[in-house]
Amino acid sequence: MSEFQSDVSSYETTSSNLPAPIDVELSSQGNIFVDWNQLARPANVRHCIIHYRSLNNNQSHTIRVSRKKQNSYLRKTQPGHLYEVHVCAVDSSDRIIAASQCAQIQTRGENEGPRLRVTEATPDYVWLEWKKSDEVHLTDIKMYKLVINGETKVILPSEETRYVVSDGNVGEKYVFQIEMLRKDGKIASSVPIHVTWPGVTIPKTQAICHACKELMISWGDSTSINNGNIESYTLHLYDSKGELLTKVGPNSPECREVWIKDVDKGVYTYILEIKLANSNKSVYSKPTRVECGSDSRLPILTYEYSDSMEKKELTDLAHHLISARDNTKSKTLIDRCEHQLQQILSLLNRYTEKVRINLKIQSNSTEHVLQTYRLIIDGVELDKSIPGTVKQYPLELARRDEPYKLAVSVTPALYGTQSKPISVEASGYLTFFCTHFDQHKSSAGCAYLDTLPCEQQLRRPIHQGLLKVTQAMETIDLYDLRANKTVQVPSFRKERRLTILFFYLNTCVPARHQLTYFADYASHNRGKYIYTSIHYIEKENDKPLHEALSLEGVPMYFVLDFAGRIVWRGRICAQEQVEYNVHMDHILAEVNTIQCPSPDCELCRYCSLTDADLKEDLTEIELKHNLLLQQFFRTRPTKSAGAKENRRQRVVSLKDSTKTMISTQYH
Ligand SMILES: [Zn+2]
Ligand SMILES: [Zn+2]
Ligand SMILES: [Zn+2]
């Protein structure tokens, strides 16, 4: 039986059969028991899937069971929540063959607290309703207190059963709780409900000035937040003094670009307004400046990565393996994960030795047929000339940590000599953690491919997560740059807040990346925790900090409890800020022993991943890796010829000898 969270709507419906009835009841232990013996199960049915969703926090779960099973208990239910349950029979491609009716059932509360739920959430308001528990008489209740994000919002009389909150901000997270104050002085609270205020995300916008006097402004797709939808887009264009010049719209929700003609030369500011459906609210993009009418006859350079598809796939597979390994206890599976990780990273490394891009040269000049271009890389002009008719130019850049600066020169130079330079990121390799202190003795960079062998030499796993027994934290003296004084960590303060320690090194690539993520997270969750980022500087005569704290690398995280003891230690493997925030929320929820606030949290999925699931995943990843490997040699015939030559004549450098030794243990 495997259990994981899922998006219920992702199962395609192919059947319009009448839903079969379903029985749900509470067992004497308070567990939900589901019986679906009346559900039709034709021969093509592979599994039965039980879907259940808490109407309190909208979190859905699915349990996949064998087709023959007729009933089951639901795990992972929360006390005092109202659940909606239905069962589907699906075929081998998860198409629904038959579905049961939806039944509702409420689990028993832990105390006499009222049962709170969200009955409706729109961008304009969140409608809350509650019911007193049956054990409490109405006459015993003095009043209710609505608490939002830990602060009292309003006091309500005992007869009240609903409240509408209308002052939320789109995309922000709210925790609602209703407290019942009894006449005898007792207080009982409802279970907290997590709601992300409905709306949509704000897309990236882009403005291009075309042929001197046309302005094209385009934007990407928005993502729906908690079922929010878009009614229309309106573009507001302002002149340099901030005066509104024109309003283009409202345009349909499908609209993604706006052309504005006859624009005079000058500097403009634009704002994209996104009007939300079923709402009076709009969300707005940040004001963005655009220059029109200058330099427009020079070519404009843009670029895209040529093998980004494979790179993305390999990167995703590697991230999957890393998270799976850090969350499984089975030694054999850890070894298998690491073996496959090594393979994936090696292939990814070959894909990123040279970063291949497709340079696009966009010229607005009508004379471009007569022109020739020359490529300028980091300020150095190449000899080879490119005809003015070329619009796309494939280019290979050697991998390096510092971005490249690319531009083209134009001959004859009628309107200027050089296009605006663009910056191309070509660091290529995958990294999220680095055993930097040792790694840089044997390797030039922070690639995880080099970290992995170092990590495997260690006796203790680097990622430990929640510690079974809290661990004393060595007291360290830190120099606080901003306050210009020495501080001690852990510090003992009166306030009861957890401390998050983030260890980093300025010279380490993954540590530098995560410093920006950490700072962003801290600025959006101010006041909840004490955040300390610790930059490690080696001092003579002192015991190095990483030895004192037995840190094997950076970036590394400790969470300290109120007493300054380590309760969590480990690392975070996230590809971008949003994912990082979800991971951090998950970790802190784990430490606080509360429910993870993100409905589709990846780490929650890894926590409930069984060994059998992981084995299946590993087989699938192996297949994908082999396909990508074949593809790699197909698309790079010259490379494989080169490899054959190398077999005949092998050149070995002593500098690489350590690496060669380590890689032999895999083959
Ligand atoms: Zn279903
Ligand atoms: Zn490093
Ligand atoms: Zn989670």
SS (H, E, C) 7-31: CHHHCCECCCCCCECCEEEECCCCC
Please list the residues that pair with 311 across neighbouring strands: none
Please list the residues that pair with 148 across neighbouring strands: 151, 176
- Which of 398, 424, 450 finishes a domain? 424
The Cα–Cα gap between 68 and 91 comes to: 13
Contact, 232 vs 256, CB < 8 A? Answer: no
Task: Compute and round to an integer the Cα radius of gyration of the chain.
Answer: 30
* 594 alpha carbon, closest ligand: 3
186: domain CATH number? 2.60.40.10
What is the interface pTM, i.e. ipTM, of the complex?
0.66
End-to-end CA distance of the chain: 35
Q: Distance, CA 1 to ligand 1 centroid (Å)?
A: 16
| Structural domain contains residue 615 | no
| Structural domain contains residue 328 | yes
Residue 122 lies in domain:
115-196
Q: Distance, CA 152 to ligand 1 centroid (Å)?
A: 38
Q: What pLDDT does 539 receive?
A: 60
| Structural domain contains residue 617 | no
| Structural domain contains residue 619 | no
Residues with CB under 5 A from ligand 3 (ion): 586, 596, 601, 603-604
Q: Distance, CA 77 to ligand 3 centroid (Å)?
A: 15
Claim to verify: residue 32 and residue 168 sit in the same structural domain: no
**Spatial CA neighbour of 341 closest among 381, 314, 367:** 314
Q: Say how far residue 2 (Cα) sits from the centre of its chain.
A: 24
- Which of 390, 424, 458 finishes a domain? 424
Please list the residues that pair with 63 across neighbouring strands: 3, 50
The Cα–Cα gap between 283 and 170 comes to: 8
Claim to verify: residue 530 and residue 444 sit in the same structural domain: yes
Q: Distance, CA 117 to ligand 1 centroid (Å)?
A: 22
Claim to verify: residue 142 and residue 154 sit in the same structural domain: yes
The Cα–Cα gap between 143 and 154 comes to: 11
Claim to verify: residue 186 and residue 251 sit in the same structural domain: no
- Reply yes or no on whether the pLDDT at 177 is more than 70: yes
Q: Distance, CA 588 to ligand 3 centroid (Å)?
A: 9
**487-496 mean pLDDT:** 72
Claim to verify: residue 64 and residue 154 sit in the same structural domain: no
* 511 alpha carbon, closest ligand: 2
Claim to verify: residue 326 and residue 277 sit in the same structural domain: no
Q: Distance, CA 16 to ligand 1 centroid (Å)?
A: 13
Q: How many domains does the chain have?
A: 5
Q: Distance, CA 502 to ligand 2 centroid (Å)?
A: 15
* 431 alpha carbon, closest ligand: 2
The Cα–Cα gap between 614 and 616 comes to: 5
Claim to verify: residue 412 and residue 398 sit in the same structural domain: yes
- What's the token pair of residue 74? 């639901």
Helices first, then strands: H and E counts in the chain: 11, 41
Q: Distance, CA 607 to ligand 3 centroid (Å)?
A: 8
**Spatial CA neighbour of 291 closest among 266, 321, 262, 259:** 266
* β-bridge pairing 530-535 and 499-504: parallel
| Structural domain contains residue 536 | yes
Residues with CB under 5 A from ligand 1 (ion): 51, 88
Label residue 571 by pLDDT band (50, 70, 90).
Answer: very high
- Name the one residue in this structure whose structure tokens are 């009448």: 18
258: domain CATH number? 2.60.40.3580
Across the chain, mean pLDDT equals 82
The 10s digit of each residue's pLDDT in 77-87 is: 888 888 889 99
Q: Distance, CA 586 to ligand 3 centroid (Å)?
A: 4
The Cα–Cα gap between 224 and 588 comes to: 25
The Cα–Cα gap between 90 and 67 comes to: 9
* Type and span of the H or E element at 121: strand 115-121
- Reply yes or no on whether the pLDDT at 144 is more than 90: yes
- Name the one residue in this structure whose structure tokens are 């104050």: 181
Claim to verify: residue 466 and residue 568 sit in the same structural domain: yes
Q: Distance, CA 235 to ligand 3 centroid (Å)?
A: 38
Claim to verify: residue 584 and residue 506 sit in the same structural domain: yes
| Structural domain contains residue 630 | no
Contact, 73 vs 27, CB < 8 A? Answer: yes
- Between the alpha carbon of residue 182 and those of residues 148, 160, 178, 187, 660, the distances in Å are 20, 14, 13, 6, 72
578: domain CATH number? 3.40.30.10
Q: Distance, CA 511 to ligand 2 centroid (Å)?
A: 7
| Structural domain contains residue 414 | yes
The 10s digit of each residue's pLDDT in 512-558 is: 889 989 998 988 887 788 888 888 765 655 667 777 788 889 999 99
Claim to verify: residue 453 and residue 580 sit in the same structural domain: yes
Claim to verify: residue 192 and residue 205 sit in the same structural domain: no
Q: Distance, CA 583 to ligand 2 centroid (Å)?
A: 22
378: domain CATH number? 2.60.40
| Structural domain contains residue 631 | no
Claim to verify: residue 290 and residue 317 sit in the same structural domain: no
- What's the token pair of residue 264? 């005079």
- Percent with pLDDT over 90 in the chain: 27
- Which of 85, 106, 127 finishes a domain? 106
